[in-house]
């Protein structure tokens, strides 16, 4: 887990007149309430603001990371964050564009609330004059009866307005339709903003632009009930330069939890960023200054083959999420796979993560001849081809060249007592897991 003390080294870029100008330069402002008023508000004294995260999964993902970093930048500017994890809204989930969500059990949601609260805490400071606070909307919705909810909150919402919200409208036009449960989500989120306005003087809610309808349900509710103007900020949905959805890898979300997406896989995701996207990603996901990013932009344009931008991006974001120590292990693992480091120094989880996408095979301990291993792993099509590879000096076990086709690998050479990394030539890799008789791994 990332060391919380690392956030003390973070800072906003002093070359900007105010935090609003920096957010705009970083491409983090897509839509907002009155921009001039909001800039003025944020340039003044401390403002209490919030962002909500629903526990519809046991971890946050890259889309949530955008919001966490916006929260942190605002806190660094002197403002006071409220991190809301929705113990009640998480039992419903905001409407997805295409289909109704599967409702999780109350116990599952409660468990996930704890996971997400711990993740949010890692990105904010809970010390000092503008210390962050964690809040849970279950605290104010659970005691509320259905009748009180309808009388005190529901009466301020107009069905026609609710129907025009993008998320609702898209579902109404689909074959799936929308349930009253999900239709009511925007009322619950609006009530959250009202409650936080009353309890903490909260004046700003941030979120993704796809949540704009839910964000403004809160500003409108406060205007109707309290006669006050408050603000909302919607960040852009981040897409790749080719128009594809950002934050997906082989159809899976990139999670912030190391158990769901290893630091190695996380690092590799950023390392594979396209040249056309890398500068924008540096603006959004790192605390590098404008001058530093502009310098990297020149390198990307003039020396794209060096991939300086990608390596800097991968290091910065992986360190931010998983810590510098884990990131250094990942870099060492990447180097070691191709012979530029000592595989024996890699801990077992890092080795497993680094080799998880490689071709693999399982053999018994008495089948560790180099020729058999090359064939079992798929690196050679036949024993004759394997012998040829060894004879030509192209076979490696744990980065050590094997020159004798009759060589048998000893158990002493197994990594963590059970793994071998095979390489044919410079780039063809595979792993072998070795089982001793009677042992169950």
Instruction: State yes or no: pLDDT of 395 exceeds 50.
Output: yes
Average pLDDT taken over every residue of the chain: 91
Question: For the segment 94-153, what is each residue's pLDDT rounded down to a tens digit?
Answer: 887 777 788 899 999 999 999 999 999 999 999 999 999 999 999 999 999 999 999 889
Question: For the segment 78-110, what is each residue's pLDDT rounded down to a tens digit?
Answer: 999 999 999 999 998 888 777 778 889 999 999
Q: What is the pLDDT of residue 390?
A: 96
pTM comes to 0.89
Domain limits of the chain?
4-235, 248-354, 358-435
> Is 358-435 CATH 3.10.290.10?
yes
Q: Which of 229, 208, 249 is nearest to 54 (CA)?
A: 208
For 102, phi then psi, to 5°, come to -85, 125
Query: Mean pLDDT across the stretch 410-437?
Result: 89
Residue 165 or 49, more confident: 49
Q: Which residues contact 90 (CB under 8 A, 6 or more apart)?
A: 54, 55, 56, 104, 109, 112, 113
Q: What is the pLDDT of residue 438?
A: 47
pLDDT class of 2 with cuts at 50, 70, 90? low
Residue 288 or 5, more confident: 288
Query: Mean pLDDT across the stretch 332-337?
Result: 89
| DSSP annotation of 101 | P
For 155, counting Cβ atoms within 10 Å of its Cβ (0-12 exposed, 13-18 middle, 19+ buried), the class is: exposed
Q: What is the pLDDT of residue 249?
A: 59
CATH architecture group of domain 4-235: 3-Layer(aba) Sandwich (3.40)
Q: 141 and 188 in contact (C-beta within 8 Å)?
A: yes
Residue 291 or 178, more confident: 291
pLDDT class of 1 with cuts at 50, 70, 90? low
Dihedral Cα 155, 157, 158, 160, nearest 10 deg: -150
Please state, for a pLDDT cut of 70, what percent of the chain lies above it. 96
CATH architecture group of domain 248-354: Orthogonal Bundle (1.10)
Question: For the segment 53-62, what is each residue's pLDDT rounded down to a tens digit?
Answer: 999 999 999 9
Question: For the segment 227-274, what is each residue's pLDDT rounded down to a tens digit?
Answer: 999 999 999 998 888 877 787 655 568 999 999 999 999 999 999 999
Most confidently predicted of 161-165, 202-206, 235-239:
202-206
Cβ-count burial 304-333 (b if 16+ within 10 Å, e if not): eeebbbbbbbbbbbbbbbbbeebbebbbbb
Please state, for a pLDDT cut of 90, what percent of the chain lies above it. 74
Question: For the segment 184-197, what is each residue's pLDDT rounded down to a tens digit?
Answer: 889 999 999 999 99
């Amino acid at each position: 887990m990332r060391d919380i003390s690392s956030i003390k080294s973070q800072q906003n870029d002093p070359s900007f007149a105010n935090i609003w100008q920096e957010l705009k330069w970083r491409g983090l402002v897509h839509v907002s309430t009155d921009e001039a008023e909001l800039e003025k508000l944020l340039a003044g004294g401390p403002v209490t603001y919030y962002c909500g995260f629903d526990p519809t999964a046991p971890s946050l993902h890259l889309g949530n990371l955008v919001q966490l970093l916006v929260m942190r930048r605002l806190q660094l500017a002197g403002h006071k964050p409220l991190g809301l994890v929705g113990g009640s809204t998480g039992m419903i989930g905001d409407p997805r564009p295409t289909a109704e969500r599967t409702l999780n059990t109350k116990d599952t949601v409660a468990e996930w609330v704890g996971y997400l609260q711990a993740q949010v805490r890692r990105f904010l400071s809970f010390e000092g004059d503008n210390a962050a606070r964690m809040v849970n909307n279950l605290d104010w919705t659970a005691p509320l009866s259905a009748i009180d909810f309808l009388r005190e909150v529901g009466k301020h919402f107009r069905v026609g307005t609710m129907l025009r919200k993008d998320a609702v409208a898209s579902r109404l036009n689909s074959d799936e339709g929308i349930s009253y449960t999900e239709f009511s989500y925007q009322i619950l989120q609006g009530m959250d903003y009202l409650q936080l306005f009353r309890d903490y003087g909260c004046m700003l809610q941030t979120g993704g632009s796809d949540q704009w309808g839910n964000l403004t349900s809160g500003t409108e509710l406060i205007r109707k009930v309290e006669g006050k103007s408050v603000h909302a900020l919607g960040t852009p949905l981040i897409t790749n330069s080719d128009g594809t959805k950002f934050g997906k890898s082989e159809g899976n979300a990139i999670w912030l939890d190391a158990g769901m997406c290893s630091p190695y896989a996380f690092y590799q995701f950023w390392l594979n960023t396209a040249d056309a996207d890398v500068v924008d990603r540096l603006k959004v996901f790192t605390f590098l200054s404008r001058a530093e990013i502009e310098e990297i932009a020149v390198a990307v344009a003039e020396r794209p083959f060096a991939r300086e931008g990608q390596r800097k991006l991968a290091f910065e974001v992986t360190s931010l999420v998983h810590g510098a120590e884990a990131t250094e292990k990942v870099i060492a693992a990447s180097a070691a796979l191709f012979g530029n480091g000592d595989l024996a120094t890699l801990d077992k989880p890092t080795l497993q993560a680094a080799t998880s996408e490689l071709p693999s095979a399982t053999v018994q301990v008495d089948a560790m001849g180099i020729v058999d291993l090359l064939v079992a792993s798929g690196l050679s099509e036949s024993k004759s081809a394997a012998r040829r590879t060894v004879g030509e000096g192209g076979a490696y076990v744990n980065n050590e060249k094997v020159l004798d086709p009759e060589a048998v690998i000893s158990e002493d050479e197994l990594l963590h007592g059970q793994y071998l990394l095979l390489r044919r030539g410079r780039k063809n890799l595979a792993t072998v897991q070795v089982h001793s008789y009677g042992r169950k791994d």
